[in-house]
Amino acid sequence: MTGITTTDLVKRFEDVTAVGGVDLNVRDGEFLVLVGPSGCGKSTTLRLLAGLESPTEGSIEIADEVVTTVSPAARDVAMVFQNYALYPHMTARENMTFGLGTATEFTDDEVTERVADAAEILDIEDLLDRTPSALSGGEQQRVAIGRALVRDPEVFLMDEPLSNLDAKLRVQMRAELAELHEQLRTTTLYVTHDQVEAMTLGDRVAVMYDGEIQQVAPPQRLYDAPATRFVAEFIGSPGMNTVEGMLERRGDSVCVTWDENSVPLPSPVPDPVTSHVGDRVVLGLRPEDLSQEMNGPLSMDITVTEPLGDSLLTRGTVGDTEMEVSLPPRSAVEVGDVLSLTADPERLHLFDPEAGGAFY
Ligand code: ATP
């Protein structure tokens, strides 16, 4: 089995804890995306797996072998970097064969065959004799991926490999990477800060924040059932609206109330909610789970409208809280209007205001 397992992995740089006790499991053949905001510890985690940093605490297993103190060269991993890291004076072919190290393991024929196979997969056969300066960004990135492919490693580690490409090329290369993984099924850990990339590429996605993993789940589950307030706000574009309120009983029903607004929960009151009645809570509402309704329980003063073509994204304040609502395209609303809204009671989320964990 060629999975990756980290156990209580910690990396401190003097007083900065970059990685704060990470237990991560990438399954055999899986494409797992590690996503999170800048500075949350993603690259450090990847560099620890590659052996480019040594952990302060914890252990790393790759393919059922403990490699915590094994040198980078002796780990059967290939890394693809954001800046491609190609040698400018070498041709694409030389850059790719350089990845085979001392080459004593392989005969010349094997090296030629491996490069030919990788070049065919990546459609760069005609570019092999060019140096990087004669290649476009997308072509350079293909060569960088080719250099990883020729090694036929147990594991690919990719650190924001598409972030230097323009938007259109990024989408194209994203599809190519997905296809490549479909074909090779090599265990892959892919780091990005782009949640769209994470959601579209990952079999599962691990969301990292402040050195810790908040949740690991398939993309749709992450969207539908975020385990923490951070995941709820981070995943989705725009992310989930969150607002602090009180969980109050009103007759037979239970509502979250703030300022003059109140959002009822489904009836009968769901079990996990009952014990929190009377508490302060954080209510989470996705922009598409709010809709216009005459005399609805929420009113929003519209401050911005953004026609996105397939929807009209509307921003405004509900009480003192900023919110975003996704309305049908061509809805007749303008900045300055007061919008009357209702929330889908089946799609509400509740979080603990201090710890941030979801309890409904
Ligand atoms: P980005 O998306 O911006 O690349 P990241 O999530 O990959 O961010 P890391 O590069 O892993 O984040 O950095 C995590 C934290 O550790 C940051 O606060 C960073 O400043 C710090 N850090 C990383 N490398 C070092 C180092 N060599 N020395 C000191 N601090 C470091």
35 lines ligand 1 (CB under 6 A): no
| Ligand 1 centroid distance, CA of 39 (Å) | 5
Q: Which pLDDT score, from 0 to 100, does residue 167 have? A: 86
| Ligand 1 centroid distance, CA of 41 (Å) | 6
| Ligand 1 centroid distance, CA of 193 (Å) | 13
Q: Which pLDDT score, from 0 to 100, does residue 33 have? A: 98
Q: Which pLDDT score, from 0 to 100, does residue 101 have? A: 57
Q: Which pLDDT score, from 0 to 100, does residue 123 have? A: 85
DSSP string, 36-52: -STTSSHHHHHHHHHTS
Q: Whose CA is nearest to atom 28 of ligand 1?
A: 13
What are 74-124's pLDDT values in tens digits?
898 999 988 878 999 999 999 998 867 554 677 888 888 889 988 988 889
Q: What is the pTM of this model?
A: 0.91
83 lines ligand 1 (CB under 6 A): no
* Nearest residue to 310 via CA among 331, 335, 324, 334: 331
| Ligand 1 centroid distance, CA of 44 (Å) | 6
CA of 107: how far to CAs of 95, 113, 153, in Å? 17, 10, 18
* Nearest residue to 162 via CA among 184, 182, 142: 142
The tens-digit pLDDT sequence of the chain (360 residues) is 789 999 999 999 999 999 999 999 999 999 999 999 999 999 999 999 999 999 999 999 999 999 999 999 889 899 998 887 899 999 999 999 886 755 467 788 888 888 998 898 888 999 999 999 999 888 898 899 888 888 888 999 999 988 888 888 888 889 988 998 999 899 999 999 998 999 999 999 999 999 999 999 999 999 999 999 999 999 998 999 999 999 999 888 899 999 888 899 988 888 888 999 999 999 999 999 999 999 998 999 999 999 999 999 999 999 889 999 999 999 999 999 999 999 998 999 999 999 999 999
Q: Whose CA is nearest to atom 2 of ligand 1?
A: 38
Residue type, 237: S
Q: Which pLDDT score, from 0 to 100, does residue 233 have? A: 96
Residue type, 312: L
Q: Whose CA is nearest to atom 27 of ligand 1?
A: 13
| Ligand 1 centroid distance, CA of 163 (Å) | 17
Q: Which pLDDT score, from 0 to 100, does residue 352 have? A: 96
Q: What is the rounded CA–CA span in Å between residue 55 and residue 18?
A: 11
Which tokens in the block code for residue 77? 């991993």
The CATH superfamily assigned to 4-227 is P-loop containing nucleotide triphosphate hydrolases (3.40.50.300)
52 lines ligand 1 (CB under 6 A): no
Candidate from 9, 12, 13 with most ligand 1 atoms within 8 A of CB, to mutate: 13
| Ligand 1 centroid distance, CA of 188 (Å) | 21
| Ligand 1 centroid distance, CA of 127 (Å) | 35
- Please give the CATH topology (third level) of the domain spanning 241-351: OB fold (Dihydrolipoamide Acetyltransferase, E2P) (2.40.50)
16 lines ligand 1 (CB under 6 A): yes
Q: What is the rounded CA–CA span in Å between residue 124 and residue 118?
A: 8
Q: Which pLDDT score, from 0 to 100, does residue 99 have? A: 63
Using the atom order of ligand 1, give the atom closest to the CA of residue 14.
29
Contact 20/71 with Cβ under 8 angstroms? no
42 lines ligand 1 (CB under 6 A): yes
Q: Which pLDDT score, from 0 to 100, does residue 164 have? A: 81
Which tokens in the block code for residue 209? 């924040």
Using the atom order of ligand 1, give the atom closest to the CA of residue 53.
27
Q: Which pLDDT score, from 0 to 100, does residue 108 have? A: 81
Q: Where are the domains of the chain?
A: 4-227, 241-351
Q: What is the rounded CA–CA span in Å between residue 296 and residue 9?
A: 49
Q: Which pLDDT score, from 0 to 100, does residue 91 have? A: 94
What region does 154 belong to: left with phi over 0, alpha with psi -120 to 50, or beta? alpha
| Ligand 1 centroid distance, CA of 103 (Å) | 33
